[in-house]
A and B are shown apart, each in its own frame.
Chain A
Amino acid sequence: MAMSLSKVKKQRRMSISEAHNRVKNLAWTPSYAQEALKYPTDYKFSKAPKDTMKQVLRSYFNMQEEKDDRVFGAMDAALRGNMFRNAQPRWIEWMKLFLGIIPFPEISAARSMAMLSNVVPNDELKNGYAFQMIDEFRHSTIQMNLKKWYMENYIDPAGFDITQRAFGHCYATTIGRQFGEGFITGDAITAANIYLQIVAETAFTNTLFVAMPSEASANGDYALPTIFLSVQSDESRHINNGYGTLMMVLGEPDNHDLLERDIRYAFWQNHCIVDAAVGSIIEYGTKDRRKDKESYVDLWERWVYDDYYRSYLAPLEKYGLKIHHDDIEAAWNRLTKGKYVHKVAQFFATGWPVNFWRIDPLDEYDFEWFEKKYPGWYKEFGKWWEHYRELSTPGNDPIAFADVGYVYPHRCWSCLVPCVIREDMVVDEVDGQLYTYCSEQCRWTHKVAFSDNYNGRPTPAMGKFSGKRQWEEVYHGWDLADIIKHMGFVRPDGKTLVPQPHLHFDDQKMWTLDDVKGYEFKSPIVTLREMTPEQREKHIEEYHAGFTIH
């Protein structure tokens, strides 16, 4: 039919709230067959939330398409502007890790909306979960596309080319799998509401999706910011879903124990995992050492401490919830006094042969910046990074096997990040088996939170830690070269390694399987379990005392 342009322009604007009021009436209460309760929860639900976000798919789809137009336009523009001519390889290399992990947690978030939709008896929230599901499908696939784009346009595609295989094998990505699997298993509210929405999305997405982009642009990467800020712009919907859902369980005093448990577990584990990964990437994946640049702990203080803890989490106490203030303090202390991020980065660099990206040695500019931002840094880490630089040419021992004084860490059974703050490592038994933890909170997570009862009440819906949780255990007693081959971290010539402890794009300077043959890999936990009680006690004491780099 014909319609003049002026008429199109005069279109009556759809009132979103009028539309939303009708859309929520699409649901009905079934009377012929009850919906299957597919996913377990120990939570009870009370009154309906107010202020759920008013939204309809019509305006949503149009808005998202426009966002995409901007994103894809910017990627084209980046190529036309020869972005990779000036982008820092040190940075892009870490994207092999970051983008190796993140599409799985994203799509897991989409999957977890099924769980909320199944257990939460509120049609407006179900409407919200549908939007979040589609958003997360967006995030996962748009990030996969960014990764493909790096692979096609960056000087060294190795590591991007094996990405999803690497995700399943790598000793670092296991940490990301703990994160993503946390959204999709166990108690539906614990997983999809508290762990995902209330903590990961409300507290930590700023560090993920705002801090990462600004570091990317400082390193000449204009593509990542476009995509991740666009992803971040969807988060307010998810935070709103999270809050609405929380309000439905908060009103029920019976849930307060569970909420205390879940917020504690989720906050601590998000801290362990997100700070380890994002902190390392931002601090060690950058060439930008401007003195006035904020450090990761500065960002954390603003986004996690002020914006989240003080303005969101602590006020929940007025509903009768117990918030573990001491944990926020403890996380802060781990990041500052404990130098958590630096110790994790050191661990990633120690294990470079079993990674699938390159880790650039640090130089004097890096040293200077770290010392300024984290006084005492050089004394603790400087010498080790000098060893790393010296040992980065093939023919040397891989640093993990060289005699530099570093002790390969135990891994935490809960968060899967190694116990890098040595004095905090805890050992305990659960069901007669011995485990190591990075912290008291992680011990509590495994032994108390992930148990079939809590505070004397049964919690039959809670998930269980499972699988071969410790990557090191899988390869206990293997030769390093065989591990790398088994993981598939070998370049197409069949001998050159995907990971390299440097940025030399030159076959002569790159490590091959021959350079890593003859080193036997040991799992710290297997070794610990094999010890006599006396040996073990001595070992733990030494571990707590730390190590000295010579």
Chain B
Amino acid sequence: MSEAQTTAEAHAKKFSGSNSRKFNYFEPKGRRATLYEDVTVDVQPDPERYLLQDWIISWADGKPAYAEEWTKIESSDWHAFRDPNGEWERNHYIRQSSIEKQVALTIESAQQEGVFQNIDKTWRKVIQDHFSASKHAEYGLGMVFLQAQRDGMSQMINNATLVNSSDKLRYAQDITLYLMDLAKDLKELNEDAGKENWLNNPVWQETRRVTESFAAINKDWAEQVFAVNLIFEPLVGELFRSGFIMQFAASHGDYVTPAIVSTAEADYERNLAYSVEMFNTFLSDPIYGDNNKNVTQEWMKKYVPMCVEAANQLQPIWSQPRVKVSTFSDAYNRAKERFNSILGQINIKIPEGVKL
């Protein structure tokens, strides 16, 4: 080692570059780069930025490792989007782990207090048949995002989608584990009924159809984010979670299910936030904004009717609990308002001829 050098501490010596203590190759969104930006931006390289030699292994058809043509969305800067939730591994695990602890503790406490016995009989059946069926939709969407996170054009896009997948899979598993615990206390509860309903009960078939159709989308990751988070979730997912379960549970002696569902509601607020931010970036693109608007119109023509159909098919569920807390049409009206307000946030309208 050089004779003069005695310490490797910062600021021990002054020389050119000795104060250059920030990643200096990207433009932060705000005045200073966030930790999230530092650990995320440009980890997925791009020939448009710093990938000097271009992608060096291609697909058999000659397409590069990340191909713009996989989505109909176009962008003049794929790297402009930043996840407003700023999630990286550290805060991801803290959040997921605290949700899991909270859910586990709630269930545990309910078991200790024996409160499952107090749940109304008609409501038990709703949990067994329908709440349990919904876990398959959540799982299916989690797998859609698991695959979508491969293909986006920036690290920020793909990590946001990855976190979305993690959320959905966690919630689907949470419902599964909850039913397992519930079945220990309520012997008549049939743990297999949820899947049976998901596969065969007419009320769930349109939901299943639309979920499967999201998985059938070939590589258009943006279409998947748009269709799931901006159409399906407000019209179907949230309709069921907040418009039904959250409304009805308490009146049937059930405080545990809402505690679980509320974690999914919080997940959705966050996943909605990144989706809105992402589509605002695409829709306000100085060059491709109009193209992108047309693309989203086409997607709405395809998926809004499917989701409306799925929502309407769920209607009979509202009449199954003993206490009629609210009607399907109240809940659906709120879902429509929610959907319209989301469209307002990204400044687009429902295509003509598409009815809610």
Interface residues of A (CB under 8 A from B): 1, 3, 7-8, 11-12, 14, 18-19, 22-23, 25-28, 30-36, 38-40, 56-58, 61-62, 64-65, 68, 72, 82, 84-90, 92, 103-104, 107, 110-115, 117-118, 126, 129-130, 133-134, 137-142, 144-145, 148, 151-158, 161-165, 167-169, 174, 177-178, 181-182, 184-186, 287, 360, 416, 452, 460-471, 474, 487-488, 491-493, 495-496, 498, 502-507, 510
Quick one: given A35-B215, A466-B62, A471-B52, are A140 and B43 in contact (CB under 8 Å)?
Answer: yes
Chain B nearest Cβ from A31, distance in angstroms: 8
> Could you write out 21 A-B pairs with CB less than 8 Å apart?
A11-B104, A22-B191, A36-B216, A38-B147, A65-B93, A86-B8, A110-B162, A114-B146, A141-B40, A152-B21, A155-B18, A169-B52, A186-B57, A465-B57, A466-B58, A467-B57, A491-B20, A495-B16, A496-B15, A504-B5, A507-B15
Measured CA separation A495–B172 after assembly (Å): 56
Interface residue tally for chain B (C-beta within 8 Å) = 111
Measured CA separation A115–B199 after assembly (Å): 26
B294 at the interface (CB under 8 A from A): no
B354 at the interface (CB under 8 A from A): no
Within 8 Å by CB of B54, from A26, A467, A496, lies A467
B202 at the interface (CB under 8 A from A): no
Chain A nearest Cβ from B158, distance in angstroms: 7
Within 8 Å by CB of A107, from B43, B151, B174, lies B43
Measured CA separation A18–B58 after assembly (Å): 43
User: Quick check: B38 and A144 within 8 Å, CB to CB?
Assistant: yes
Closest to A39 in B: B150
User: Quick check: A164 and B50 within 8 Å, CB to CB?
Assistant: yes
B166 at the interface (CB under 8 A from A): yes
Chain B contacts of A503 at CB under 8 A?
A: 1-2, 5
Residue of B135, B149, B191 most packed against chain A (CB within 10 A):
B149
Quick one: given A22-B177, A492-B17, A505-B5, are A148 and B155 in contact (CB under 8 Å)?
Answer: no
Measured CA separation A139–B92 after assembly (Å): 13
10 extra A-B contacts, CB within 8 A, seeds A33-B209, A145-B90, A164-B45: A1-B113, A23-B173, A65-B93, A107-B159, A126-B143, A137-B159, A142-B90, A148-B35, A184-B150, A496-B15
Measured CA separation A111–B148 after assembly (Å): 9
User: Quick check: B108 and A505 within 8 Å, CB to CB?
Assistant: no
Within 8 Å by CB of A492, from B16, B52, B59, lies B16
Chain B contacts of A163 at CB under 8 A?
A: 23, 25
Within 8 Å by CB of A165, from B50, B58, B159, B218, lies B50
Chain B nearest Cβ from A444, distance in angstroms: 17
Instruction: Tell me the B33-78 residues at the A interface (CB within 8 Å).
Output: 35, 38-45, 49-60, 62, 64-65
Chain B contacts of A162 at CB under 8 A?
A: 23-25
User: Quick check: A182 and B213 within 8 Å, CB to CB?
Assistant: no
Residue of B40, B150, B198 most packed against chain A (CB within 10 A):
B150
Interface residues of B (CB under 8 A from A): 1-2, 4-5, 7-13, 15-26, 35, 38-45, 49-60, 62, 64-65, 88-90, 92-94, 96-97, 99-101, 103-106, 108-113, 135-136, 139-140, 142-143, 146-151, 155, 158-159, 162-163, 165-166, 169-170, 172-174, 176-177, 179-180, 191, 195, 198-199, 205, 208-209, 212-213, 215-219, 255
Closest to A103 in B: B43
User: Quick check: B54 and A65 within 8 Å, CB to CB?
Assistant: no
Measured CA separation A127–B136 after assembly (Å): 14
User: Quick check: B60 and A104 within 8 Å, CB to CB?
Assistant: no
Chain A nearest Cβ from B73, distance in angstroms: 17
Within 8 Å by CB of B57, from A33, A158, A178, A510, lies A178
Within 8 Å by CB of A506, from B13, B43, B50, lies B13
Quick one: given A28-B136, A137-B92, A158-B20, are A8 and B108 in contact (CB under 8 Å)?
Answer: yes
Chain B nearest Cβ from A226, distance in angstroms: 14
Chain A contacts of B51 at CB under 8 A?
A: 168
Within 8 Å by CB of A469, from B13, B56, B89, B198, lies B56
Residue of B50, B195, B208 most packed against chain A (CB within 10 A):
B50
Quick one: given A61-B170, A90-B1, are A185 and B58 in contact (CB under 8 Å)?
Answer: yes
Chain B contacts of A502 at CB under 8 A?
A: 2
Chain A contacts of B142 at CB under 8 A?
A: 130
Chain B contacts of A161 at CB under 8 A?
A: 17, 20-24
Measured CA separation A180–B22 after assembly (Å): 25
Measured CA separation A112–B57 after assembly (Å): 14
Quick one: given A26-B176, A471-B52, are A164 and B60 in contact (CB under 8 Å)?
Answer: no
Measured CA separation A491–B162 after assembly (Å): 36
The 4 closest A-B pairs by CB, nearest first: A168-B50, A114-B150, A158-B17, A467-B54
